[in-house]
Amino acid sequence: MLALAAGGMLRADCLDELLPRPRVVERGAGVELKLRMPVSRPGWYRLEVKGGRPKISGNEEGRRYAQVTFGQMKKLAGKAQVPDCTIVDWPEFKYRGVLLDCGRNYQSVESILDLLDHLARYKMNVFHWHLTDNYGWRLESKKHPELQKSGAFSRNVGKYYTQAEFRRVLDHAKKRGITVIPELDMPGHTLAFRKATGLSSLADEKARIILGELIDELCSLAPASEMPIIHLGTDEAREPGEKVPQTHLDYWAKKVTDNGRQLMGWSPGLKLPGQTIKHLWMGAKDPRGDACGYIDSQNSYYINHVDPEELLSVAAYQQPCRWGAKREHLGATVCVWHDDVIADTEDVARMNAIYPAVVLLSDNFWRGREKDEPTLYARLPHPVDPRFALAADLERRMLAQRDKVLANVKHPFPYVAQTQMRWKMTDAATGKVLATDIPQATVYPRHFWFPAGAYAPGGNGTVVLETWITAPKDIACGAWIGMTGFSRSDGRSRDAPTPKLGQWNKHGATVELNGRPIDPPAWMHPGVGGNPKETPLVDEDYWYREPTKIHLKKGVNHVKMTLPKKGGWKWIGTFVPVAGTSDHPQEVKGLEYASEEP
């Protein structure tokens, strides 16, 4: 609902800028809402505001969420009084979380505490803490201190979380209504463990016993009421030293349940016995019929594969928990797998756009989606398509959150408005128009269905992307320009190496503004390929390097991107004017976009 401002223009107020969006919002206090109140559901609340004062009812978890909603309203309202209203709300899913991989790249305790604060702002209630991997066993063990010896680490040597720091994170999370799910990944991803213990194979009886002791020690750090779930991984056990008999898995699983905890494991993964929550990742099979339910982390919920401007389509159109009866739908987790080495601790949040992802996906996880739209995971619908309204509304709310609720948050927030943009895509060989009025900053040609006679998305060819930008005056600003799109867990590859000096990508892509070419950056690691995970990404993608300087003249400006494709699948074009820095960008004000010359 939009309110009328002076002069009759429509404007949004704080009730129209909340995220996640409440289910029922009625203006005016004391409104009798004729709906069935799900008072038994965790997280249910009723918030009534009258004269700027809140009246809250609901269960314990719901009252916390009501306070979060009212806190957002006050920041969104600014100096104005929060309007009288009645809100009734509840979450669709029990678990709404973020996974942070600290096994490969250590993250400071302070950065984790900040992330927990951010999760609480958006009613996320699970922090999945991936603590162990090939590069390091990051949780202190007093029983097996050899795990913290320098020789066990191959990255961030000597960096781990003391048991006191672990407790600090749990306490911080508990105060914010967040459950910490620690993961000790086994038997795959255990090179650090094997180096520390000198065991070449986890099939060794000593490995079975030691890992059982480590599970006991982990459970001793917090009662089951505070840490009810233990995740044992079980994915990607591919190396000879990671092959174990089923009796080992049964033993480790029993250790978890004997400590009064619920067991969780990846699917696909090795079979864990008994009542195990399945955690779905890439390629998981249909989980229906599992009495314990499942957590969804499939497809673009792995945001280490996702462009920040792609987050909007994921949040708007990917439906969490797409299989089975509702009793099996436990929720969803957005995963941050930064496999490649990082140059700076903050780079994980920067390169994976964690902070904007939480804001956008909070709505996805809280409300769910009426329909799953796989063809829209990486593109927005045409502006006349009724489905487009969802993305436009979600973006508007998200920008209000960025500018008002998160104005003082120091962490990178790489997202700018894109639904106002309009692109035309043409087959360069034939001049045939393939799509018009594309309303997004990053265009993935392979995700469009090409007309008969055009090359298929998996084939070769060249597309031209064009947009016409009308500026109210001469403007010196920046532009996010990108033509590759690197996953932070796949490194560089032969398909998508760092471009050579003088190139935008290996296929010979170009970009022009008003008929003049825009030069690519002087890449810090030019021509690097072959998946070198120990060479950090530093400037390869648009959102973690400073914007390219451009000049928009008063009146109409023509942007043309030429994108050849010569095999492989990296086929991407991004151009969006921005003000400010890449860490804290803003929209360039007053610009109008068209897919044909005005």
pLDDT in tens, 165-190: 999 999 999 999 999 999 999 999 99
Question: Dihedrals φ, ψ of 466, to 5°?
Answer: -135, 145
At 3 the pLDDT is: 37
Same domain, 85 and 205: no
Q: Which of 89, 110, 143 is the last residue of a domain?
A: 89
pLDDT (mean) for 260-283: 91
Q: Using an 8 Å Cβ cutoff, are 15 and 1 in contact?
A: yes
Is the pLDDT reported for residue 287 higher than 80?
no
82 CB-side CA count, 13 A: 24
Task: Tell me whether residue 516 is in a domain.
Answer: yes
Which positions ≥6 away from 213 have C-beta within 8 Å? 143, 144
Whole-angstrom Cα distance, residue 270 to residue 235? 6
Find which of 250-264, 277-291, 496-510 is predicted with most confidence, using mean pLDDT: 250-264
pLDDT (mean) for 22-48: 83
Q: Using an 8 Å Cβ cutoff, are 190 and 242 in contact?
A: yes
**Residue with the larger pLDDT of the pair 568 and 196:** 196
Same domain, 431 and 371: no
Same domain, 202 and 304: yes
Helices (H), 81-153: 109-121
Q: Which of 89, 117, 132 is the last residue of a domain?
A: 89
Q: Structurally, how many domains does the chain consist of? A: 3
Could you please report the per-residue DSSP string of 282-293? TTPPP-TT-TT-
Identify the domain containing residue 103 by its residue range: 95-376
pLDDT (mean) for 544-571: 92
Bridge partners, 133 (sequence order): 136
pLDDT (mean) for 46-52: 94
Whole-angstrom Cα distance, residue 442 to residue 462? 16
Same domain, 428 and 370: no
Cα–Cα nearest to 506, from 534, 530, 527, 537: 527
Which positions ≥6 away from 104 have C-beta within 8 Å? 133, 134, 135, 136, 155, 337, 338, 339
pLDDT (mean) for 380-387: 95
Tens-digit pLDDT profile for residues 199-245? 999 999 999 999 999 999 999 999 999 999 999 999 999 999 999 99
Cα torsion 190, 194, 200, 206: sign: negative
pLDDT (mean) for 484-497: 78
Is the pLDDT reported for residue 459 higher than 70?
no
pLDDT (mean) for 493-510: 87
Tens-digit pLDDT profile for residues 513-554? 999 999 999 999 998 877 667 888 999 999 999 999 999 999
Q: Using an 8 Å Cβ cutoff, are 424 and 467 in contact?
A: yes
Which positions ≥6 away from 393 have C-beta within 8 Å? none
- The residue assigned the tokens 């209203």 is 85
Same domain, 451 and 560: yes
Question: Dihedrals φ, ψ of 507, to 5°?
Answer: -90, -5
Same domain, 293 and 341: yes
Is the pLDDT reported for residue 460 higher than 80?
no
Q: Using an 8 Å Cβ cutoff, are 486 and 537 in contact?
A: yes
Q: Which helix (H) or strand (E) holds 161?
A: none
Task: Tell me whether residue 125 is in a domain.
Answer: yes
At 381 the pLDDT is: 94
3-state secondary structure of 510: strand
Q: Using an 8 Å Cβ cutoff, are 189 and 169 in contact?
A: no
What CATH number corresponds to the domain at position 560? 2.60.120
What CATH number corresponds to the domain at position 276? 3.20.20.80
Task: Tell me whether residue 409 is in a domain.
Answer: no
3-state secondary structure of 460: coil
Whole-angstrom Cα distance, residue 145 to residue 56? 49
Kindly indicate the confidence band of residue 565, based on its pLDDT and cuts at 50, 70 and 90.
Answer: confident
Same domain, 536 and 554: yes
**Cis check: omega of the bond before 598, within 30 degrees of 0:** no
At 214 the pLDDT is: 98
Q: Using an 8 Å Cβ cutoff, are 106 and 159 in contact?
A: yes
Question: Dihedrals φ, ψ of 66, to 5°?
Answer: -65, -40
β-strands 229-233, 262-267 pairing: parallel
At 11 the pLDDT is: 45
Kindly indicate the confidence band of residue 494, based on its pLDDT and cuts at 50, 70 and 90.
Answer: low
Same domain, 140 and 209: yes
At 504 the pLDDT is: 95
Is the pLDDT reported for residue 93 higher than 70?
yes
Kindly indicate the confidence band of residue 7, based on its pLDDT and cuts at 50, 70 and 90.
Answer: very low
Task: Tell me whether residue 387 is in a domain.
Answer: no
Whole-angstrom Cα distance, residue 18 to residue 75? 10
Other beta carbons within 10 angstroms of residue 333's beta carbon come to: 27
Task: Tell me whether residue 503 is in a domain.
Answer: yes
Compute CA distances 564 → 26, 172, 352, 463, whole Å.
52, 50, 27, 6
Cα–Cα nearest to 548, from 481, 482, 474: 481
Kindly indicate the confidence band of residue 489, based on its pLDDT and cuts at 50, 70 and 90.
Answer: confident
Is the pLDDT reported for residue 286 higher than 50?
yes
Is the pLDDT reported for residue 323 higher than 90?
no
Task: Tell me whether residue 509 is in a domain.
Answer: yes
Q: Using an 8 Å Cβ cutoff, are 216 and 141 in contact?
A: no
Least confident of 104-108, 130-134, 492-496: 492-496
Cα–Cα nearest to 186, from 260, 287, 255: 255
The pLDDT mean for the chain works out to: 91
Same domain, 34 and 109: no
Give me 527's structure tokens. 């021509």
At 493 the pLDDT is: 72
Task: Tell me whether residue 408 is in a domain.
Answer: no
Q: Which of 22, 55, 89 is the last residue of a domain?
A: 89
Question: In degrees to the nearest 10, what's the CA dihedral of 568, 570, 573, 576?
Answer: -170
Tens-digit pLDDT profile for residues 573-582? 999 999 999 9
Task: Tell me whether residue 403 is in a domain.
Answer: no
Same domain, 217 and 265: yes
What pTM was computed for the model?
0.94
With 0-12 / 13-18 / 19 or more C-beta atoms within 10 angstroms meaning exposed / middle / buried, residue 229 is buried
Give me 235's structure tokens. 């994915």
Kindly indicate the confidence band of residue 9, based on its pLDDT and cuts at 50, 70 and 90.
Answer: very low
- The one-letter amino acid code at 279 reads H
Same domain, 578 and 543: yes
Is the pLDDT reported for residue 474 higher than 70?
yes
Cα–Cα nearest to 29, from 15, 13, 44: 15
Is the pLDDT reported for residue 423 higher than 90?
yes
Is the pLDDT reported for residue 583 higher than 70?
yes
Q: How close are the terminal C-alpha atoms of the chain, in Å?
A: 32
At 457 the pLDDT is: 54
- Quote the radius of gyration of the chain (alpha carbons, Å): 25
Same domain, 76 and 109: no
